[in-house]
Amino acid sequence: MKKRVFFFNLVVSFLFLVSVAWAGLPDFTELAEKAGKAVVNIGTVKVIKGPNLRGFFHNFPRGGTPFDDFFDQFEKFFGRQLEKPRKQRSLGSGFIISPDGYIVTNNHVVEGADQIKVTFHSKNGEKTYNAKIVGTDPETDLALLKINAHNLPTLEFGDSDKLKVGQWVVAIGNPFGLDHTVTAGIVSAKGRVIGEGPYDNFIQTDASINPGNSGGPLLNLDGKVIGINTAIIASGQGIGFAIPSNLAKRVIEQLKKNKKVRRGWLGVTIQDVDENTAKALGLEKAKGALVASVTPGDPADKAGVKPGDVIIAVNGRPVEDSSDLTRKIGNLLPGTKITISVWRKGKIKELKVILGERDLRKLARTSSKVQEFTFGELGISVRPITPKEAKALGLNSVKGLLITAVEDNSLADRSDIRPGDVILEANGHEVDSVHELEKIYLKDAKPKKVLMLLLRRNGQNLFRTISLEDIK
């Protein structure tokens, strides 16, 4: 009898737990039906020109070889066919943001396309429209399309800043050509930087995202778009990435108004602040963006920003790292007046900056050769730089020490110091000679247990910090 009661109670408890768990799951049916009306399939056609095989075949010597007949026959039967232009087709997703036919998708879905078709699916069947590109932004992988239609169902952007890790989200798209596939999951993480571009700030989700989902919406349970599905990790399952809606809104507004995106520009090269660098600079926390170099004549230079400054805030909003600063400045329009807070020699300094306009200019890359004086504890050999080397590296004057060798597995090697780097500063002091570097090392770096070097590498300035904790 006791056993029966025990098993009965066990079954009841199990059923109760199942019912509670089941009751806690959201119902996506209404959301999928309503939002799905504004999600479209995007098909593109790109004409690929074939290679010029005639020149290729004529490069082979003819006459008296056993391959003459082979080349003649191959060119005759296959050459002309391979030279013909061919059509490359691809599929993606998108969603309507206005009743008059504006559609958001990814730039990589439509990039280079000669023809774009947008297909709607409804109870009454399919309807296809030709679409035109209004504008694209490769740096955020967004594109705005327009079709000639009216009274279309739409989706509304939500506030991605309010999104929390663990919240339910729904993805709708065209994975593998399977139109209007609905998948659900949670927000796995926010602020992911995956190396896709300078404005990486992705939402990570385990809602199933596959090839063909690109450009489709990631929705919250209110049916609002909080992300645009963009990237996947080919080797991983349950890992997808979406562009936050707040970033997308700003880009789409500019594309709709100006057909291009304009972004603010400071004119600095920056890097993250690690623990050792924070210690060397007297910062309480390893946060902010460390200025490695300032472009002469650009907004930061005019405002008085200097290499070695750490930008810790923009208009009073804290800067977490270099990526955060890039996004904050990029979200502002050229000509905007801002205040940046910099940490300089133990004090906070407020600087007024009028932003310029971002352009993707290329920095010259150079290299240099090897030789001379050795700092055994650090594992580096150095010598004064020559005027010719200074000119090649783009230096304004003949200052600094050329690192001619780095010992394997030394402190310098483990801190990413490389032969060919030029030491411009050590712990905030300019370095013009081996004697000066030795003096800074003994009287400043060793007592602080940290040496921070401003280096010139491949045409750019950057900082590297060496921990001296293990040196007695």
Is residue 379 domain-shared with residue 443, that is, in the same domain?
A: yes
One-letter amino acid at 281 equals L
* Type of residue numbered 28: F
- Does 206 lie in the same domain as 109? no
253 with 271, same domain? no
Choosing from 141, 179, 309, 421, the catalytic residue is 141
Are 268 and 233 in contact by the 8 Å Cβ rule? The answer is no
Q: Which of 312, 327, 357 is the last residue of a domain?
A: 357
Let me know if 27 is a catalytic residue.
no
In this structure, the answer to whether residues 282 and 311 fall within a common structural domain is yes
d(CA 218, CA 230): 10
249 and 275 fall within a common domain = no
- The answer to the question of residue 410 being in a domain is yes
Query: For residue 362, what pLDDT is reported?
Result: 35
d(CA 168, CA 163): 10
Residues 290/283, Cβ–Cβ less than 8 Å: no
141 is catalytic: yes
Where does a domain end: 112, 147, 182? 147
Q: Is 212 assigned a ligand-binding role in the annotation?
A: yes
Instruction: Answer left, alpha or beta for residue 36, where phi above 0 means left and psi between -120 and 50 means alpha.
Output: alpha
- Interacting residues of 240 by C-beta distance below 8 A, sequence separation 6+: 171, 204, 205, 206, 207, 208, 209, 213, 229, 231, 232
Residue 284: inside a domain: yes
Q: Identify the CATH number of the domain in which residue 86 sits.
A: 2.40.10.120
51 shares its domain with 116: yes
Whether residue 228 is found in the same domain as residue 275 = no
Residue 272 is among the residues annotated as catalytic for this protein = no
Chain Cα centroid distance, residue 49? 31
- Containing structural domain, residue 66: 33-147
* Helical segments of 293-415, H only: 299-303, 322-330, 387-392, 411-414
Mark whether 301 and 201 lie in a shared domain.
no
HEC per residue, 151-162:
CCCCCCECCHHH
Asked if residue 278 belongs to a known ligand binding site, the reply is: no
CATH of the domain at 193: 2.40.10.10
Residue 19 is assigned to a structural domain of this protein: no
Does residue 231 have a known ligand-binding role? yes
Final residue of a structural domain among 307, 322, 357: 357
Clarify whether residues 208 and 314 are in a common domain: no
Looking at the structure of the chain, the number of domains it has is 4
Question: Within 10 Å of residue 462's Cβ, how many Cβ atoms?
Answer: 19
Is 214 annotated in a binding site? The answer is: yes
Say which CATH number the domain at 342 has: 2.30.42.10
Asked, for residue 383, whether it belongs to a domain, the answer is yes
C-alpha span between 308 and 431 (Å, rounded): 14
Q: Which of 90, 108, 160, 188 is catalytic?
A: 108
Instruction: Tell whether 43 and 109 lie within a shared domain.
Output: yes
**Choice among 160, 188, 214, 341 that is catalytic:** 214
Binding site annotation covers 233? yes
Q: Is residue 389 part of a domain?
A: yes
State whether 274 and 289 are in the same domain.
yes
Instruction: Judge if 333 and 251 occupy the same domain.
Output: no
In a domain, 13, yes or no: no
290 contacts 270 by C-beta, under 8 angstroms: yes
Sign (positive/negative) of CA torsion 370, 376, 378, 382?
negative
**pLDDT tens by residue, the chain, 472 residues:** 545 544 544 554 455 445 545 556 788 999 989 999 999 999 988 776 655 554 544 555 555 555 556 556 655 555 555 556 666 677 899 999 999 999 999 999 998 888 999 998 777 778 899 999 999 998 899 999 999 999 999 999 999 999 999 999 999 998 877 878 999 999 999 988 877 777 888 999 999 888 888 999 999 999 999 999 998 776 656 789 999 999 999 999 999 999 989 999 998 888 889 888 898 899 999 999 999 888 888 999 999 999 899 999 999 999 999 889 999 999 999 999 999 999 998 999 999 999 999 875 433 222 333 336 778 889 898 888 877 677 767 777 778 888 887 887 889 988 999 888 899 999 999 887 887 888 898 888 888 899 999 998 877 899 999 999 877 6
Residue 22 counted as domain residue: no
Burial of 343 (0-12, 13-18, 19+ CB in 10 A): buried
Q: How far is CA 369 from CA 46, 365, 389, 405, in A?
A: 47, 14, 9, 10
Q: What is the model's pLDDT at position 70?
A: 57
The answer on whether 435 is annotated among ligand-binding residues is no
pTM of the model: 0.66
Residue 4: inside a domain, yes or no?
A: no
